[in-house]
Amino acid sequence: MNLLLDEIARATARLADAGAASPRADAEELAAAVHGVNRSELHKVPDNAFDARFWEYVARREAGEPLQHITGRAFFRYLELKVGPGVFVPRPETEVMVGWALETLRDMDVRDPLVVDLGTGSAAIALSIALEAPRARVHAVEKDPAAFVHATRNVEELDERGRVRLHLDDFASALGELDGTVDLVVSNPPYIPMSEWEYVPRDVRDHDPADALWGGGDDGLDAIRAVERTARRLLRPGGYVAVEHSDLQGNGVYWTFAEENGWRDVRNRRDLTNRDRFVTARLGTD
């Protein structure tokens, strides 16, 4: 048997005992990162090339350190992003919201759509839109300096056409010069209520930045309310907004985009597990 595959099997058992949600995938990703290959190429690593640092990585994962912090990379749609301490690790469920955003941009009769990503973190959303909707111009806002460093590095490495512009600012007040001109606002803001602290996985609450997790207010929706106000200010009549939330907040977020504030076509949309995950709305033209 290939030595590395044998060690991966042992590591999988250790990570399972430690409570990892996906022990086999974690072990394979750690091995791939250490040996500089893709997961599909692990079987090609010769026995004499086995790197003992693999077990250091496994021990860190056992101790609860996020996989992406250990490997320094996270995968999101078609991107490989640089991540680490100080920046929120993008999750697969957010990819569904980005897919909706891209479909909406394709359906717009706009030559060069203007998009704003509020609370960009690693710039995963902004870069995905810039890559997959090549005529889009994307402004990405992030107020945390540590996260902004990661976003800057990712944009510099991946935005070959220069379609993403980063802003170190608070999204509640940013981009006043774009008021009334934006076609699409998208955001994955902090939304977890502090009352849910004990239910949040340890590797998330201990390692993701607090400002990217806890949304404020008894219901965790203060940041989403700020997104609503900013989107209402930025969007042109007929422009759209999409904002992510937890699977228990769909009703509260739905009513945040109230008709009396000009919102139309408000919809709760589901992720790949069929749970409420993000709300979309259109700013009325009347």
Residue positions annotated with a catalytic role: 88, 188-189
Task: State the Cα–Cα distance between residues 177 and 128, nearest whole angstrom.
Answer: 24
Residue in 196, 189, 187, 141 with CA at minimum distance from that of residue 164: 141
Q: Is 2 annotated as a binding residue?
A: no
Q: Which of 14, 15, 11 is nearest to 42 (CA)?
A: 11
Whole-angstrom Cα distance, residue 229 to residue 64? Answer: 37
Quick one: which of 83, 174, 186 has its CA closest to 132? 186
- Residue 171, marked binder: yes
The annotation status of 191 as a binding-site residue, yes or no, is yes
DSSP string, 124-174: HHHHHHHHHSTT-EEEEEE--HHHHHHHHHHHHHH-TT--EEEEES-TTT-
> Is 188 known to sit in a ligand binding site?
yes
Neighbours of 24 (CB within 10 A): 15
User: Is 189 one of the annotated binding-site residues?
Assistant: yes
Do β-strands 164-168 and 263-270 pair in parallel, antiparallel, or remain unpaired? Answer: unpaired
Contacts of 135 (CB under 8 A, 6+ apart): 111, 112, 113
CA angle, residues 82, 155, 213, in degrees to nearest 5: 60
Please tell me whether 274 is known to bind a ligand: no
How far is the C-alpha of 253 from the C-alpha of 261, rounded, in Å? 14
Question: Residues within the annotated binding site for substrate?
Answer: 188-191
Question: Residues within the annotated binding site?
Answer: 142, 171, 188-191
